Amino acid sequence: MNATGGTTPTPTQTPRPGRYTIDPDGSALSFRTTHVFGLLPVRGTFALRGGTVDVADPLSGSRIGAEVDAASFRSGNAQRDGAVRSARFLDTGTHPLITFVSAEVGADAVSGTLTAHGVSRPVRLSVVRLDVLADAFTVRATLRVDRTEFGVTASPGMAGRRLELTVVARCVRA
């Protein structure tokens, strides 16, 4: 029994089948890249807008859909942040969302389609941690993307070409 008189949830290996919603307040999308010809590290975040996870049994039948607010790009440098949101890079006025839709879900990886800047490409996220409770779970996954494959080609050399992305998504039973 816990302090409120209820039982403490016991962690399990996989979430129970059913629909879960991605909690934007408990989730984060962070990135790492470089600037100035690869010499300076740049770190920052995007805000997850939300999404759904339909967990199936078997797990391979599961489906994921998530949305990221492209204009939420933050690196701690207001000038750079404005430039990245501009038409030269992400063009968030025309392409306000970055989306992910799964194609294949496994215990260690999730494959699907990432759409950014109006361009869709197949990607594979590596699941590095999964914490499961009775009616919620949190997953941490990583992904490496080449921005030029999504049509974001401004400032070659100056702005990093590849981004290391880490998503932490808290999913709550709907």
What are the residue boundaries of the structural domains of the chain, listed by start?
Answer: 18-173
Please, are residues 174 and 20 in contact by the beta-carbon 8 Å criterion?
yes
The per-residue pLDDT for 11 is 45
Which of 77, 66, 81, 58 has its CA nearest to residue 29?
Answer: 66
The per-residue pLDDT for 38 is 58
Cα torsion through 100, 125, 105, 167, rounded to 10: -60
The per-residue pLDDT for 161 is 87
C-alpha span between 132 and 30 (Å, rounded): 22
Q: SS3 letters for the chain?
A: CCCCCCCCCCCECCCCCEEEEECHHHCEEEEEEEECCCCEEEEEEEEEEEEEEEECCCHHHCEEEEEEEEEEEECCCHHHHHHHHCCCCCCCCCCCEEEEEEEEECCCEEEEEEEECCEEEEEEEEEEEEEECCCEEEEEEEEEEEHHHHCCCCCECCECCEEEEEEEEEEEEC
From first to last of its 174 residues, the chain has per-residue pLDDT tens of 444 444 444 444 899 999 999 999 999 999 999 876 657 899 999 999 999 999 999 999 999 999 999 999 999 999 999 999 999 999 999 999 999 999 999 999 999 999 999 999 999 999 999 999 999 999 999 999 999 999 988 887 778 889 999 999 999 999
Which of 36, 3, 17 has its CA nearest to residue 135?
Answer: 17
C-alpha span between 29 and 20 (Å, rounded): 18
CATH architecture entry for 18-173: Beta Barrel (2.40)
Is this prediction's pTM over 0.75? yes
Q: How distant is the alpha carbon of residue 77 from its chain centre? A: 21
